[in-house]
Amino acid sequence: MPRPSILLVDYDPDIHALMAKVVSPELYELDSAYDGKTALERLEKRNYDVVVTDIYMPELDGLELLQRIQQLSPETPVVVMTGQNTPENVARSIREKAFSYFSKPFSSSVVIDIVTQALESRAAPDDIEVLSARPDWISLELRCKLSIADRLVPFFREMHVGLTADEQEEIATAFRELLINAIEHGGHSNPSLKVQVTYIRTARAVLYSIRDPGPGFSFEDLAHAAVANSPETPLLHTQVRRDLGMRPGGFGIFMTRQLADELIYNEKGNEVLLVKYLPAFGA
């Protein structure tokens, strides 16, 4: 079997040297380009399984390259990385249909996880429809595929909003749990159905709204979830899940309640609003 091919596009030779240490030559074929124009010329001559590109480069920057790749080879997953991370770059990367996003400095595990995900994912161009991509208002419509949840989390984790790194990770985790619930339980992991996701940044808070296509639920009917357990039987739901043939889990809503400042459901139970207040204002 041929090794998966990766094209790394970055003006900094140190990044190429670092990536060569991270990406095993026994498993991957790593090719290098030091600017967007050279990368585009390479892509016009051959296909790559994954492209990893920096944003700020001479002649043709990474986001312009991403746009050109979408025109040339829309099935090629493009991962955006940057040392100058801004909400504007995150929003534009989403609009231009980047597969994923991470900032420098990065760990080897982050790179391997994202590259592996890009190689293994069967992403379609219409998996994510962008309705709004302003830095303070991102609104998306997603097909009900669990793999999309893992794709989206890195984008929102990188939205620097004045939270600590731990708080940012916590809110990203809470968002992922709610999104997985919406896809799995509301949409039954049916790719023909869609979930609506909106991220809003105000001066006082960060808000996530997630609306699934299901009939909704009530907390009284959640015997399979940890949120329904009494303090005396904290793991009762695990037996219920086994009896129903469900996968292990059920801690999503319970955990999210601990991480968010507010968690509000609509009357139907198919839309949830997650609120995290910024430090200057508090809960």
pLDDT at 16 > cutoff 50: yes
Burial pattern 247-280, b for ≥16 Cβ within 10 A else e, equals: eebbbbbbebeebbeebeeeeebbbbbbbbbbee
Please check whether residues 52 and 191 belong to one and the same domain: no
- Residue with the larger pLDDT of the pair 217 and 99: 99
Please check whether residues 271 and 131 belong to one and the same domain: yes
What pLDDT score was predicted for residue 254?
Answer: 62
Q: Can you tell me whether residue 211 is helix, strand or coil?
A: strand
pLDDT band for position 237 (cuts 50, 70, 90): very low
108: domain CATH number is 3.40.50.2300
Please check whether residues 117 and 148 belong to one and the same domain: no
Please check whether residues 97 and 134 belong to one and the same domain: no
Tens digit of pLDDT for each residue in 58-76? 889 999 999 999 999 999 9
C-beta atoms surrounding 46 within 10 Å? 9
Please check whether residues 136 and 261 belong to one and the same domain: yes
**Domain coverage including residue 150:** 126-283
Mean pLDDT over 183-193 rounds to: 93
Mean pLDDT over 216-222 rounds to: 59
What pLDDT score was predicted for residue 134?
Answer: 94
pLDDT at 218 > cutoff 80: no
Please check whether residues 115 and 131 belong to one and the same domain: no
Backbone angles phi, psi at 185, to 5 degrees: -95, -40
Those residues with Cβ within 8 angstroms of residue 143's Cβ, 6 or more apart along the chain or in another chain: 124, 126, 127, 128, 191, 192, 193, 194
Tens digit of pLDDT for each residue in 108-127? 888 899 999 999 887 888 89
pLDDT at 244 > cutoff 50: yes
Length of the chain in residues, anyone? 283
The residue among 96, 121, 146 that closes a domain is 121
pTM summary value? 0.81
pLDDT at 46 > cutoff 80: yes
Tens digit of pLDDT for each residue in 252-283? 566 777 788 999 999 998 999 999 998 865 54
Instruction: Decide: 182 and 211 in contact? Cβ < 8 Å.
Output: yes
Which of 35-39, 153-157, 220-224, 244-248 bottoms out in mean pLDDT, i.e. has the lowest?
220-224
Tell me the range of 44-53, 145-154, 219-228 where mean pLDDT is highest: 44-53
Asked if omega into 105 is within 30° of 0 (cis), the reply is: yes
